Amino acid sequence: MISKQGKDLALSMLRTLPRLSLNNIRDNPGSRKPPKRGRGQHGGDKHGAGNKGSGQRQNFMRPGYETGNTPFYLRFQHEPYYKGHHLRREYPPLSLQQLQLYIDTNRIDSSKPIDLVSIVNTGLYNFKVEWKHAGVHLTDEGADNFKAKVNIEIQWASEPVIAAVERNGGTITTAYYDYHCLFAIKDVERFFTTGEPIPRRLLPTADCLEYYTSAATRGYLANPEEISHERLILSQKYGYELPQIENDPDYEMLVQRKDPRQLFYGLEPGWVVSLRDKAILKPKAEYLKEFYSS
């Protein structure tokens, strides 16, 4: 009776177990040993540059070696300043002098709003998203010679730069772009050929939210009434008469702004631009309209 049960159990195991073949057998444990390098003609050692000084008499020392002293990376093991440095956003500089040159040489049309797209399309601005570049840092070099009246949107600017732009009757705005939008801005023609819908711009991250909501830095999320008050304070601080934008013939251009979700002037998030058909496809579903406008 017991032998019969054992046979049935063995047969049931054979039915469930896989068949024995060359691709599922393995060697016995310890039957194979990894080959070792032989001693060679001269003993087989010293192949790692030996044990004599400076890497077996090379003409250079290894990186970090300080001729016997405790290396720098061991003396100072922790430096909080460099924590996450490879993830920090970078803003390649663009001076006011270069911006004036772009306008004078018709690289940029000052009669239209200037944003990151128009600056990148000049082909003269070094902008690489893969290097963590997040936009334009407008510097004050050539601020005294800057005479253009522009409506410019950049990502970072100091107080003298804001004063130089507003002194000529222009307006300036600091705006944030996330990395997904920056890849679309980097090469607009290439992005449109992919057939993807224009993404909606995300809100600033926590580390720069205060900057883009401040009226003193002309953040695009700041209160417009506070911006008007800060314009007056800055003109009194730097000693120039603030031009009246309301009476300017280019008033419509100077006050033109993007929506916080908008990426390109004249194009809404969710639209698909077909360069081959020269057509713009707009979403019709209500949930898509709600998604891209929220």
Residue 37 lies inside a defined structural domain of this protein: no
Contact 265, 113 (CB under 8 A): yes
Residue 70 in tokens: 């405790």
- For tokens 């070094």, name the residue: 126
Which pLDDT score is estimated for 62?
A: 78
Whether 289 maps to a domain, the answer reads no
Q: Does residue 77 belong to any structural domain of this protein?
A: no
Residue 223's domain spans which residues?
86-265
Residue 45 falls within a domain, yes or no? no
Q: Is residue 15 a part of any domain in this protein?
A: no
Residue 136 contacts residue 157 (beta carbons within 8 Å)? no
Reply yes or no on whether the pLDDT at 92 is more than 90. Answer: yes
Higher-confidence residue: 184 or 54? Answer: 184
pLDDT range class, residue 212, cuts 50, 70, 90? very high
Decide if 198 is inside a domain. yes
pLDDT in tens, 71-91: 888 888 777 887 888 888 999
Q: Please state the φ and ψ torsions of residue 146, each to the nearest 5 degrees.
A: -85, 120
Nearest-angstrom CA–CA distance, 231 and 165? 11
Name the pLDDT band for 53 (thresholds 50, 70, 90). Answer: low
pLDDT digits (tens, 9 = 90+) for 240-279: 888 888 888 888 988 899 999 989 988 888 888 888 888 9
Domain contains 175: yes
Q: Is the dihedral of CA 83, 86, 89, 91 positive or negative?
A: positive
Residue bearing tokens 């002293």: 69
Q: Rounded to an integer, what distance in angstroms lies between the CA atom of residue 290 and that of residue 286?
A: 6
Q: Work out the number of other CB atoms within 10 angstroms of the CB of residue 101.
A: 14
Answer yes or no: are the C-beta atoms of 90 and 156 closer than 8 Å: no
Start-to-end CA span in the chain (Å): 75
Centre a 10 Å sphere on the Cβ of residue 112 and count the other Cβ atoms it contains. Answer: 13
> Residue 126 is encoded by which pair of tokens?
């070094």
Q: 133-160, pLDDT tens digit by residue?
A: 999 999 989 888 999 999 999 999 999 9
Q: Is residue 112 in some structural domain?
A: yes
Indicate the number of domains in the chain. 1
Position 39 pLDDT exceeds 70: no
pLDDT of residue 276: 87
Q: Encode 226-252: b = buried (16+ Cβ within 10 Å), e = exposed.
A: ebeebbeebbeeeeeeebebeeeebee
